[in-house]
A and B are shown apart, each in its own frame.
Chain A
Amino acid sequence: MSHRDTQAATRVGTRIANKSIKFSFDGQEYLAQSGDTAASALLASGVREMGRSVKYRRLRGLLAAGPEEPNALFTVGNFPNIIPNVSAPQLVLRNGMALRSQNRWPSLKWDVASLLQAGGGFLGAGFYYKTFIWPSWKTYEKLIRNLAGLGAAPGVCSLSPPKIMYASCDVLIAGAGPAGLAAALAAARAGANVWLIEREPVVGGELEFEASEIDGLPGAQWIAATLAELARRDVKIFTDTTIMGGSSDLIIAHREAGGIAGNNAVYRMKPRAMVAAMGAVERPIAFVGNDRPGVMLINAAEKFLARYGVKIGHELVLFANHDRVYAAAARLQAGGMRIRAIIDTRLTASETIPLRGDLMRSGIHCLLNTAVLATIGGNRITGVKIAPLDAPHQVRTLACDSVLVSGGWSPATAQLTQSHFIAGAEHGCLELNAALHDGYTAGRTAAQVAGKTDLSGTAPRGHGDLTPSLMPFWRSPSDPIREKYQFVDLQNDVTVADLRAALAEGFNDIEHVKRYTTLGVGTEQGRTSGLLGAGIVAELKGDPLTKVITSRERPPYYPMTLSSLAGLRVNGALRPTRKTALHQWHESNGAVLESMGLWMRPRYYQANGADAFTAGIAEARRVRSIGGIIDSSTLGKIEVAGPDAAAFLDTIYLSKASTIKIGRSKYMVNLREDGMVLDDGIVLRLADDRFLATVSSGHAEHMLSHFEYYCVARHYPTISDIRAVSVTDVTESWSVIAVAGSTSRHALAQVLGNEWLAKIAQLTHMDFAVGLFQGHDIKVLRASFSGELAFELHCRPTHTLALWEGLVAAGLLPYGLEALDILRVEKGYLVSSEINGQTTPFDLGMDGLVKQKNTCVGRELLNRPAFHEASRPRLVGLKAVDGKSKFLAGAQLIGSLAPRPCGHVTSTVYSPTLKEWIGLGLVARDYALGDIVRAHDPLRSGNTRVLLVSPVHLDPSGARMKSMSRAP
């Protein structure tokens, strides 16, 4: 311990100060220096094991020194106040910070699940796809749910909302390395208003450690001089900020200082031109055991040394395919690390490297045409196996404790490439002078695009490390059986064997390979693994890399805290609340309101019970015994008028509207063009050329667009002649009160006045009458969705309260949505989850409507054979076999004919009238009423035997309603 502490206290680096702070990792206390990241502080304390891989739970250390780090993701804080999946190289420590490793149980050293992979019993590519289906999914579900995913979710969110800023500038420059700084100089000198965005807390990029000279100044001094000039020219610099995406003229940047959510900012930038100079990310080479803690990218080791004074190991072997490795080796050696060997896969190294000779003279083995085949050791590396590439069986062993690897650089091409100028390393300019020149040119062109014409000035000139002279090398030779230890994507445990399996199983395209193997789908988003994987796929297929290409990049560019995506918390200020005319009454009468789209609707009234369940039951029971009223004003109402109104409705409804007589209404269903049921509702014929269509509350806005669309869409032959029709949204022009129960007729007459008595008595099912209430229009429609005698009153919002209060005074008390669902399910009326966009009219028992042979939107596609197969679902009623067990919507139904589910439960309620749990479900047609299936609900520990019955649970003959139909 004392050794570590001394080491921690004496480090010197560009980013740390000699001020000691404390933090803990997996419960153990450590010392760090101010400015340290979690990664640098742990490395300095001798900790190498920082996490386990997601799938195989292999022990992992650091690979990288940036946000591309695949392994070291930590959870910060103590539950419930935690932030998961924070990248250790990005996380700047604060005194007292508590960190935890992830993907292990019970501890990092002893992980139970890692025993699953002992003996090499790996879950190969496609494992998930092959087990995510029944019946094996049922077997593996619990295990997979426990293993899957990155860190745990926080129990609370106490993050402050991000600052959101909208702004525009002439030239936006992404990346403040040498190329980005040169671009900023060029654009600013041309007079452009320039913004410079840098992901790191400081600018300069690789100049932080690369030996360099620019315009006669050492790199660090040139940066200082450049920053001074940029400040004079009013260039705004945003550090700790990353461009996350933007496919149009809007660029989204995200600031997350210190690598952890806190005082985040989201910038929505509108530049007139943009330069992307985001550099390049070093990539590894695949070899056996390349995932052991101690295998790191060369560039990462250099960064840890220069920034934090951390020596990542004592005895290093460097493995690369380019000239840069020698300059890096010299710097690491100067930093006090012992280098055993430099393994170069190329046949020759550049003659212009005097360094190589110096390194060899200092006792380092510099081997050409050689590769590292494998690491040796347990959890820690004790050595490597190397062999000449032309004689891979002449294996030699070298002792070492770390392997630094570099397979070249992958440009940090974001998804922005189509809309900007690319410069520097991102553009392939890996040599300093070329990058400076490229950046300067791009900056000048961008300024020109932004309308600037003064293009004087010259690009800075400099020199640093040599051009790499890279020879592509993706993976070391290996026995095919050991390819499952050649890791390509360390975060998702994708190996060369997985890529080979994907190709063998016919996943040829890189996008398919990605999805099948999960290559590059983690937080590192293919930064280290994407091009490497593509290179290996190309090699395995024998195709050129240009034919394989990498998979498409998608925003966000780097992991982004969800609270930043959520944006401002405005408590609904940007989301208006729609209130019915009775809203105030509901509130002052103890209604518990629930949002439905933008609307607020009473779920239940507190006077009827302490919670939704008890109150709903009490309210439903009262409707069945006496009656009740519900505010249904949210119902969508669309008035359709004009000479072609009837013809128009005929084409957008499954059954004909033109046959409805004036003063009558009809239950109607809309189809989508693909034949699936879209919505249902009642259509009233007000006049020969005027209809009122009611649509579901939740679909009202969409249905209005749907109606409007078919007024003008001409691709349906039957519609092409219809022109004289107008569609008007009258949702808020009419309130709706639904009145149900045996006393409803009596109460209505009492409230509306005696002149209505005869009118109401004459109404048969689906008739409506129009008249006046307190001098204003009112419609009384006889329609029932509860199996009781029931009416729908359409009245003007200004007079709704009077009508409602009158009905309450007449003894009809209000009920809410909870009771409404009970009443509907009891009678087998669709609740909402049955119309899910995947059910046809046949599935929902609407065969009768189809038989009417009306030509309408979606009708043609109803004839598809697949719509009539035995595996298609059918709406059924469900009840527990034992008459008392509870089962819930969402449960899978499993029958005796096949191990796979035969359907699912769509709605369930407890029926106070039937005194048991009942439900509706969609079940394959090869099951008959009377069959018994199991409602399998593992997440809620449900496993109930249920009986398939008619959807109409209560009073199937309709006797109740008929008995009440007779006028008093």
Chain B
Amino acid sequence: MAWDYPEKLREVAANPRFIESEVGLLRLIEGDGKLKSALASGDLIAAKRDIDKERTLYIGSYGSPACGDYMTLFLLVNNPTNSVEKISYDNYGCTSSIGASEMGARLIDKIKQFEGGVFQKREEKGQFQLEPLILNSGILRELSDVDESGRVIKSVPKEKHHCSVMFEQALRNLLKALTHGDIYGSLLSEDQKCMIDEVDGPLVCHCFDVHEKTITRLFQSIDKELHELMARGESDLRPDDKEGIVKYFHERVQESTKAGGACGKCHYDRSPSIEALILREFPNYNPKGDDKVVVRAEHKEEKPYFALPFFDRVKLIQEAIDTFVRPSLQRDGGDIELVSLEGDTVKVALTGACATCAASSVTMAYGVQQILREHVYKRLDVEHIG
């Protein structure tokens, strides 16, 4: 589909001024074969090279061509003056990704100040974290079309936010070089792995390399946005619609980071799943004292059905069948057996007296479906197999 980009973004993407091939910062480390081949193969995550007594070249990369886009950011920093002397980047990506890289570079070029301008040091639990101050949200604002009064009249399409976020991610990786030196994807040391876990949290989406903190960082703005939408009556969601809210968060996370957009395993299978993160960060969306969910109440963890691992889901269904269906069937000399759970489809077989009654199997399946939808999960379908 054709994206409706702001003119500003198009203009910026069409006239980049900080392309590394033109700026040529890499020429400063001409002889460094290891670094160059790591850059060419896309293995480099972060690196740091002292050029002379005063200047250091910092490099940070993010993404990969196989995933659709990548970028590498180069900053030449003058240490005594704490200023960025030169900036450049490589970008393989769509118009929105190129535009964001260029805008990020322009912002840094304007600010110049390294610590306190490009990033800040923040103390957390006795440890220092380096946080970027040039963020995707700011870049997106700069890329929007505005009218004379500065009101945004066209912004970067929501679906493309995950492309523009490359810049912030590359900068985050670059900052890791300050504390941990060179980091190669294929040669991550245990120490560096721990550091990445500390800074970014555990890996959630393996396809797009999205870590926990990248996801939870987004929650606040999504939360705010959703509250505003609800307040204006522009959202169909109600505060007690836990499932709908989780889905909304999930969609927004995916739009912004791609997380969960490929294999989908991080939805449920992995720990922590995206859904679990959302519920963990926003326990207040969990309606308390929900006595309708009889079966679920027995579980200590208050996870919704669809965020549970497969076996727990089967268990819930089994329990609901045992509690609500089986007794009445057995009274009539029949029985029911849970055969399989495929996606949201529950397959059951009727046995005993019910098995031979063709008409009743359809009605039964419908009845069981109603019960499971009420007590376990409202999207379940029940099929009877003969």
Our verdict on whether A and B bind, yes or no, reads no
- Chain B interface (Cβ within 8 Å of chain A)? none
- Chain A interface (Cβ within 8 Å of chain B)? none
